[in-house]
Structures are given as C-alpha cells and as structure tokens.
C-alpha cells in the first residue's frame, strides 16, 4: 500500500509540475502579447517619423511633435504597465527626453534641450537605483565595464574639449557638456549595475547616439553621411530598450514577491 501511495504521489507531483509549466508558458505568451500591443503605437509613430523625415524640413511645431511622439508614447506605455511607481523614474525620463527632442528641433535651443536630457539621465539613474532592479555590482565584468565607461566618457570629453572652446558660447557650453557627460556616464554605469540586459543595451545605445550627435553639432567632422539617421535610430532604440527594461523589472519583482508568499 505504501508503494502504491508513493507512486501515486509522484504521479501527482509530475502532473502538477507539467500543469505549472503550461500555465507559466501561457502567462508568458500573454504578457509578451500585451507588451507588444502596448508598444505598437511607439513602433508606428517611429516609422512615421522616418517616413516623413522632418530633419530636412524647417523647424516647426509639427516637426517637434512628430519627433517627440514616439518617446511620449513610450512613456504612456510604461506608465500603463508599471503604474505611478515609474513617474519619478523612466516615465519622467522619457517625458523630459521628449522635451529635449522638441528643443533640439531649433538649433538656438540646444542648451535647453541638453538640459532636458540631463534631467532625463538623472531620472533614469534614480530608477536604476530602485529596489525593482537586480544589483550585480560585485561581479568582475561589471567592474570592468564601469572602468571602460568612465574611461570612454572622460576620454571623449577630453577629445571634444578643443572643439567646444571654438564655440562662441564656450564659457557656458564647455562646463554644461562636461556635466552632461558625467550624468550620461553615471546612467550607463548604473545600468550595468542593474544586470538588466535591455537596460544596459539601451544606455549604451544612448551614449552612441549622443556621441554621434556631438561629432556633428560641435563640427568635429565636416559632414557625416547618414549621420542624423544613425543618431535617431540609436536614440529611439535606446529609449525603447530602457522602457522595456523597466517593464521587465516590474515583472521580475512581481514574480519574486509571489515566490516569497508561496
């Protein structure tokens, strides 16, 4: 009798395990579908931007709206997915990024746009420090990436310094760019610390986008074929990955909480 009961027990355990696996797969597919649908407006608006290609048009309210729409739609998607907990984090960063997008449509508002993006990086950094993100600060590869990011950030600013000095507004621009470099590098370092792959890749893509933009704005290169395209592709990709990373951080926390309660 004991043998039969033990056999039946193991059969129930296997059946329950299979059932749990199927439920997990079904829930994962449902979450993936919901995530895609929530991000669909971003994809469509980004496609519209590249179709209209407003950088070739004179600065206008319409150009600013088309450029900032994908990021604002990302902010709405993250807000609907996470709720208010991301307002002073990724959602706020996306909103300030949209403000920066609008400012950069007009060249004379470059400093205002850079200031808006600086606030965005600060909000991203605050979000990456929150308890929703996993901390992987002790691993060797993380420390190596910290060092690389600080060296690249500092080295690139040093490289740009002579070009910044040539600008008529260099007294303000040079320290402002320095502060901006500190903030975006800090954001990248904290992204590494989270151990969240989309967040990390998004931060690195943001740095690539800004580096490409700075080469053109500060006239390091006379002309760069498809330079604006590279800037915008890497920029939208960066914002998309940071948004997805924030959504995943909530999912991971929820799963962990459920595990603790079980």
Q: Give the pLDDT of residue 10.
A: 53
What is the C-alpha to C-alpha distance for residues 196 and 199, in angstroms, rounded to an integer? 5
Show the CA angle centred on residue 173, arms to residues 165 and 111, nearest 5°. 145
Q: Give the pLDDT of residue 93.
A: 97
| Spatial contact of 78 and 41, defined as CB atoms under 8 Å apart | no
H or E stretch at 42: helix 2-52
Residue extents of the structural domains in the chain: 39-261
Q: What is the pLDDT along the chain (262 residues), one digit of tens a residue?
A: 455 555 555 555 555 554 444 444 454 455 678 888 889 999 999 999 999 998 988 999 999 999 999 999 999 999 998 887 888 899 999 999 999 999 999 999 999 999 999 999 999 999 999 888 876 656 788 888 889 999 999 999 999 999 999 999 999 999 999 999 999 999 999 999 888 999 999 999 999 999 999 999 998 987 777 889 999 999 999 999 999 999 888 654 444 333 333 3
Which residues are within 8 A (CB) of 151 and not within 5 positions of it... i.e. 6 or more apart? none
């Amino acid at each position: 009798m004991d043998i039969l009961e033990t056999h039946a027990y193991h059969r129930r355990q296997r059946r329950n395990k299979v059932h749990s696996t199927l439920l997990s797969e079904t829930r994962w597919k449902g979450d993936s579908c919901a995530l895609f649908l929530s991000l669909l407006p971003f994809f469509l608006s980004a496609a519209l931007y590249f179709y209209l290609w407003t950088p070739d048009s004179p600065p206008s309210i319409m150009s600013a709206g088309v450029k900032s729409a994908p990021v604002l739609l990302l902010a709405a998607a993250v807000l609907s997915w996470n709720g208010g907990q991301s307002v002073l984090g990724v959602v706020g960063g996306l909103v300030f990024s949209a403000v920066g997008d609008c400012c950069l449509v007009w060249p004379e508002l470059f400093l205002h746009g850079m200031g808006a993006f600086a606030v965005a990086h600060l909000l991203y950094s605050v979000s990456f420090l929150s308890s929703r993100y996993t901390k992987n600060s002790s691993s060797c590869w993380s420390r190596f990436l910290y060092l690389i990011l600080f060296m690249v950030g500092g080295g690139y600013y040093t490289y740009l310094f002579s070009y910044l000095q040539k600008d008529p507004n260099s007294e303000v621009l040079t320290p402002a760019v320095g502060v901006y470099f500190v903030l975006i590098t800090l954001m990248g370092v904290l992204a590494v610390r989270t151990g969240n792959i989309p967040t990390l890749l998004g931060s690195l893509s943001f740095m690539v986008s800004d580096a490409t933009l700075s080469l053109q704005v500060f006239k390091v290169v006379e002309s760069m074929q498809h330079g604006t395209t590279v800037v915008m592709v890497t920029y939208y990709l960066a914002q998309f990955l940071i948004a997805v990373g924030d959504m995943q951080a909530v999912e991971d926390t929820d799963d962990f909480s459920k595990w603790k309660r079980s």
